[in-house]
Structures are given as C-alpha cells and as structure tokens.
Amino acid sequence: MKVACRLPHSDYEIITLGHGGGGRLSQQLISGVLLPKLNNDYLQELHDGAVFPIADPVRLAFTTDSFVVSPPFFPGGDIGLLSVYGTANDLAMCGARPLFLSLALIIEEGFSIHGLEQILSSIRTACDLLELQVVTGDTKVVERGKGDGIFINTTGLGAVLDGIEISPRRIRAGDQILLSGSLAEHGVSIMSLREGLKFDSPLLSDTSALWPLVEAVLRRGGQGIHSMRDATRGGLASALNEMALSARVGIVIDENALPVREEVQGACEILGLDPLYIANEGKFVSLVSPECSEQVLSAMREHPLGRDACRIGEVVAGHPGVVVARNGFGATRVIDMISGEQLPRIC
C-alpha cells in the first residue's frame, strides 16, 4: 500500500514530533505505514494491548531487548531483522518456540519514513520466517539530537517445548560445550563498516533466526540439553563467563577448536579485536550431557545454520566461575569477561 495519498508530502518524507503526539499524525503513521507492513488480527483491534487465550497448561518464556545498533543498516542485515531475531533467539535460549512479539519504536525527529518502511519490511520478513506476529506496539518520537535515528525494543513471548528444561542450574561437570558455528561475524561486519574497511567480499553479519536449529537440538537432546546461551554482546567469552558464574562451575575450551572464517580473522587483526569478545547474532553455545553430545552435534550439522557446529570444550568441577582456554601447546590462559566497552552499540 502506498502511503503518499494519506500523508501530505512533507510528512511523508520524514518523521516529525507530531507523529509521536497521539493525535491525527500518529494515527496516519499507524494506519498508513505501520499497519500495512505488520497487519494481523490482533494489531487490527488498535486497542491498548493484545488479548489472546491460553487454553492448555504451558510454560511461557518472556524476554525483552532494545536495539540501538549504529548504523541501522549493515551488510547482512538491519535493525529490523536484528530486533526480531535477537528477541526470538533469547526465547529459543529458554527452549521456547517464539509466539508473539511487541514492538516499540523510539524515533528521532527527522528520520526518513522510507527508512522506517524498510525496517518494517525486514521486521515482517523476519516474523514470517518464524511464524511469529507483532501483536502490540508503541511509537515515540524524540527531538532532533535527543536520540539517534531509531531505537527498537521488542519483547517476546514463547512456549517452552514439552519435556525441555533449560537452566544454568542444570549445568554439570562433564557437560560438553557445543558451538553452533563460526565466530565474530556480526561485530566485525559493523566495525568494518564504521571504519570504512573494504574487503574483496563484504563481511556479512550472521544475523539469523536460531529457533529452527534450536528446535532440532532440543528434539534430539531432550533433557540432555542443560543450558544454552547465544553469544551476542561481549561475544562467546561473555556468554561462557556468565554460564560459569551462574552455575558455579569451571569451563575449559580448546582455543584451536574455535571456528573463525579466514576473512573475519584477517579483519580482526586489522581492527585489533579478539574474536572471542566480538558479538555474534546467529550463534549459540549449548551445554549438553556427554551421553548425547555426539547425537546433538550431528543434528546441528544437518541444519544449514549449524553446518560448522563443533565441540569447543567442557565443564569442569575445578576453578568455579572461571573460563580458561587451552592452546595447541598445552598452555592455558584465563578468558576473562570483557572489562569495559569494546564495541559500543553493536546491537
């Protein structure tokens, strides 16, 4: 649906404060731009919230994330894809199939409505892939210089698969650590763009929807899947440290087993970044009982998103809360949590 017929030309081009005022311009933005992209029966109601029945007993997963990535468009994705996949991936990390999403936009005055439409198209594409719906939303506009283009919050509701129990409390010494694919692609893509680095083939973000792969893992591993975490902000190092800390266990990884693509490794060297600390947006680790780890690994490799999956280490009873990496010569180093900010606004 074209919106030019509904909004005067000057309002068509950019977002103004009036689009966030709750009056006629807000209504036009909703009916002319947002609804045509996202429409479904719940949103159509235009009520203060969405209401849906839950008929059978279920465990719901509930998670929220704001996305402030700069720039909002990058090789391999944009803030729209990221805001759906990021929250859906967090639901997946709870063992939950994503069901419903809320969408809240904070837009800086002057942002282009064309850019907003592109982002909404990405949101729709991502939702369709996951058979997920945006059922309620909110739009605020802040004055020029009081925001930065667009910030997006999505909050997700999902249904935990029957018989699955994912929790840091279930992590045990001996658990095998499986990584779903190669590291650091999202962060390196954004940093290369910011720094103006050019490569023969562009470095693409790995932004993707993990649920289909996670579902395959859960169906194969069942109760043997103890914990999962996607390696976003702070990279794999932070994900592993958080797990070691909350489960009060030690983690040992094999540094030579970590998959990093050659061009990503090269960019990391130019940028002075350690791939272990770089954000991913389509990779996760699962901590799996040793009995089922081989089966789970082969289930992962059968899926396109998991074809580079590998075992990278294991959980140990020693040094609780500490992650160490062993290199090829048998030496170990502590993989600490990142202390400050390596890459601001990466997601």
Residues 180-219 touching a copy of itself, rule: CB under 8 A, are none
Q: What mask of x and - would describe binding to a copy of itself in positions 48 to 87, judged by CB under 8 A?
A: xxxxxxxxxxxxxxxxxxxxx-x-----------------
Smallest separation (angstroms) from a copy of itself to the CB of 274 = 12
End-to-end CA distance of the chain: give it in Å, rounded: 30
Check if the beta carbon of residue 146 is closer than 8 Å to that of residue 108. Answer: yes
Taking contact as CB under 8 A, which single stretch among the options 189-197, 204-212, 303-311, 331-339 is the one that binds a copy of itself?
A: 331-339
Q: Which of 32, 74, 90, 123 binds a copy of itself (CB under 8 A)?
A: 90
- Residue 149 vs 224, nearer CB to a copy of itself: 149
Q: Which of 39, 73, 129, 140 binds a copy of itself (CB under 8 A)?
A: 140
Number of residues located near a copy of itself, criterion CB under 8 A: 91
Q: What amino acid is encoded at 253 in this protein? A: I
- Of the candidates 309, 75, 64, the residue with the CA atom closest to the CA atom of residue 176: 309
- Residue 139 vs 289, nearer CB to a copy of itself: 139
Binders in 244-273 for a copy of itself, by CB under 8 A: 245-246
Taking contact as CB under 8 A, which single stretch among the options 96-104, 252-260, 290-298, 304-312 is the one that binds a copy of itself?
A: 96-104
Token duo for residue 86: 């990021």
Please give, one letter per residue, the 3-state secondary structure of 269-304. Answer: HHHCCCHHHCCCCCCEEEEECHHHHHHHHHHHHCCH
145 counts as binding a copy of itself under rule CB under 8 A: yes
Contacts of residue 255, Cβ cutoff 8 Å, sequence gap at least 6: 325, 326, 327, 328
Given the DSSP bridges, would you call strands 250-254 and 323-326 parallel, antiparallel or unpaired? parallel
Taking contact as CB under 8 A, which single stretch among the options 116-124, 148-156, 204-212, 298-306 is the one that binds a copy of itself?
A: 148-156
Given the DSSP bridges, would you call strands 133-142 and 225-230 parallel, antiparallel or unpaired? unpaired
CA dist list (Å): 14 to 150, 321, 345: 12, 49, 24
- Residue 271 vs 295, nearer CB to a copy of itself: 271
Token duo for residue 275: 């791939």
Smallest separation (angstroms) from a copy of itself to the CB of 192 = 19
Binders in 21-50 for a copy of itself, by CB under 8 A: 21-27, 45-50
135 counts as binding a copy of itself under rule CB under 8 A: yes
